[in-house]
Amino acid sequence: MSAALEVALTPAQQAVLDAVGGDDVTPLLVTGRAGTGKSTVLHRIVAVEQRKVAVVAPTGVAALNVGGQTIHSFLRLPVGLIGNSRLYQDRELRKLLMALDVLIVDEISMVSADLMDGIDRALREARGRPDPFGGVRLVLFGDPFQLSPVPGGAEERAWYTEMYRSLWFFDAHVWDRIGLRTLHLDLIHRQQDEEFRRLLTAVRHGAVTREMAQRLNEVGARPLPADPPLTLASTNAAVATLNRRALADLPGQEATALAEVDGDFGGRTFPADEELRLKVGAHVMMLRNDSEGRWVNGSMGTVAKLHRGVLTVEIDGVRHEVEPVVWERHRYTVSADSKELQREVVAQFRQLPVRLGWAVTIHKAQGATLEAARIDLGRKAFSPGQTYVALSRLTTLAGLYLTRPLIPGDVIVDPDVRRWVEDRRRAAAAD
Ligand SMILES: Nc1ncnc2c1ncn2[C@@H]1O[C@H](COP(=O)(O)OP(=O)(O)OP(=O)(O)O)[C@@H](O)[C@H]1O
Ligand SMILES: [Mg+2]
């Protein structure tokens, strides 16, 4: 984190700082390829800004990366679809949001249109002001060629079809009432090697030639070192298998924590393992923000003690006892005439907020910088931006390990993102 404060900013990065400090209060989107220093500029803004600033991100891990909170925990938004459902804001929250001048959001590509509009409404309601975002200055950072919001179940998709042009933040309704000014960062800093930069840019735009694929595949086919790096896998299932194997390789007694499941989770995966198996020494990732602030969703740690059902995890050299937490699943219904979104709790899941951490999903790795990683795309990548996010975490080609050669189907660009780029190009030409 401190490194981010030491680097000398490029003129384009400095221009972002100047724009944020300037008089134009139009929301700002700072975009550019992976590793162009978006999050670095974000850190710098926080360091120099005199006004009241809050930093948020859509996922726990992305928030960790920039020293912020999740959007949901900061604005106390309901999990899942927000729509026009009632927001619960106590005095303390309203006071906090009243005092806010600038809201900074990182990894905006993972913010859905519904969440974007939820941010707008939460700020308007808390501040009692009708103008967009309740008059708070918004600064968004991210790259739409990286991972998109995760579409929910059938009810959520039906809601989107009805209410929005697409799932993307840029299709939120709030943009009908206020503009979004875009600034571009062009220079890639994460990778120094010109060849690797070129390869990554081709993956981003879905323009990988046969020679490029060959080059990546040759490099990635090298054997794993004795102490293998973190694995980035596309599916939860692959992550679970890898972690299970790593656990089996660890000596010592295994203990199991069983989840309590109450109600119907609708065939969707549980928020944590139903049967959580652990050993002393196991690598783990924390799954929820701790109510006492001892860790956040995404914190990495090691199991230090497992004794009579009590789990102790060491995080950054400090040992903590971990208690089970409850997750809720909601069901949405939309009333046909009023279009009002209603929700009810249909299921609960109680488990320790911990999972094994030798492998993580690519989704969780977005925003990270890694020296080495083993990339496991399964049979075929299935989301736009997935392969690009995985590869672009690495600082050098020398750190790339592939579980299998890349195939053309691994590189997917979202048609809504292409449309957005086209629309912006047209708008810029008309200026
Ligand atoms: N001006 C700079 N000079 C030197 N290094 C820089 C500069 N800006 C950023 N970096 C470095 O480049 C790397 C990537 O930066 P950062 O994580 O901010 O990129 P990003 O655009 O947020 O990437 P992503 O899209 O993957 O989130 C970091 O290691 C950072 O320290
Ligand atoms: Mg970033």
385 Cβ closer than 6 Å to some ligand 1 atom? no
Find the 12 Cα to ligand 1 centroid distance in Å: 13
Confidence (pTM): 0.88
Does residue 344 lie in a domain region? no
Chain-centroid distance, C-alpha 70: 9
Q: Does residue 133 share a domain with residue 63?
A: yes
Does residue 403 lie in a domain region? yes
40 Cβ closer than 6 Å to some ligand 1 atom? yes
Q: Which residue out of 40, 45, 364 has the highest number of ligand 1 atoms within 8 Å of its CB and is therefore the one to mutate? A: 40
Find the 76 Cα to ligand 2 centroid distance in Å: 24
pLDDT at site 3: 47
Q: Does residue 150 share a domain with residue 88?
A: yes
Residue span of the structural domain in which 73 resides: 11-189
Q: Does residue 223 share a domain with residue 183?
A: no
CA-nearest residue for atom 13, ligand 1, is 190
3-state secondary structure of 143: coil
Q: Does residue 255 share a domain with residue 156?
A: no
**Of 43, 34, 53, which Cα lies nearest the Cα of 5?**
43
CATH number at residue 96: 3.40.50.300
- Last residue of a domain, which of 174, 189, 204? 189
Does residue 419 lie in a domain region? no
Find the 368 Cα to ligand 1 centroid distance in Å: 10
pLDDT at site 2: 40
Does residue 104 lie in a domain region? yes
Q: Does residue 282 share a domain with residue 152?
A: no
Q: How far apart are CA 84 and CA 340, in angstroms?
A: 6
189 Cβ closer than 6 Å to some ligand 1 atom? yes
Does residue 420 lie in a domain region? no
12 Cβ closer than 6 Å to some ligand 1 atom? no
Does residue 332 lie in a domain region? no
Q: Does residue 124 share a domain with residue 218?
A: no
* Ligand with an atom nearest the CA of residue 370: 1
Number of structural domains found in the chain: 2
Q: Does residue 199 share a domain with residue 150?
A: no
Does residue 341 lie in a domain region? no
Q: How far apart are CA 235 and CA 285, in angstroms?
A: 16
Residue 392 CA, closest ligand 1 atom number: 26
Strands (E) located in 131-170: 137-141
Q: Find out whether 107 and 30 touch, Cβ atoms under 8 Å.
A: no
Q: Does residue 216 share a domain with residue 87?
A: no
CA-nearest residue for atom 18, ligand 1, is 37
Residue type, 163: M
Q: Does residue 241 share a domain with residue 381?
A: yes
- Last residue of a domain, which of 146, 163, 189? 189
Q: Does residue 215 share a domain with residue 129?
A: no
pLDDT string in tens for the chain (431-residue length)? 344 457 899 999 999 999 999 988 899 999 999 999 999 999 999 999 999 999 999 987 788 788 888 899 899 998 889 999 999 999 999 999 999 999 999 999 999 999 999 999 999 999 999 999 999 999 999 999 999 988 778 888 888 989 999 999 999 999 999 999 999 999 999 999 999 999 999 999 999 999 999 999 999 999 999 878 899 999 989 999 999 999 999 999 999 999 999 987 766 668 888 999 999 999 998 988 788 889 887 788 999 999 887 899 999 999 999 999 998 877 666 666 666 666 678 789 999 999 999 999 999 888 888 889 999 999 999 999 999 999 999 999 999 999 999 999 999 999 999 999 999 889 888 87
Q: Find out whether 397 and 190 touch, Cβ atoms under 8 Å.
A: no
197 Cβ closer than 6 Å to some ligand 1 atom? no
35 Cβ closer than 6 Å to some ligand 1 atom? yes
Q: How far apart are CA 64 and CA 274, in angstroms?
A: 26
Does residue 423 lie in a domain region? no
Q: Does residue 239 share a domain with residue 163?
A: no
Q: Does residue 393 share a domain with residue 369?
A: yes
Sign for the CA dihedral angle at 289, 293, 299, 301 comes to: negative
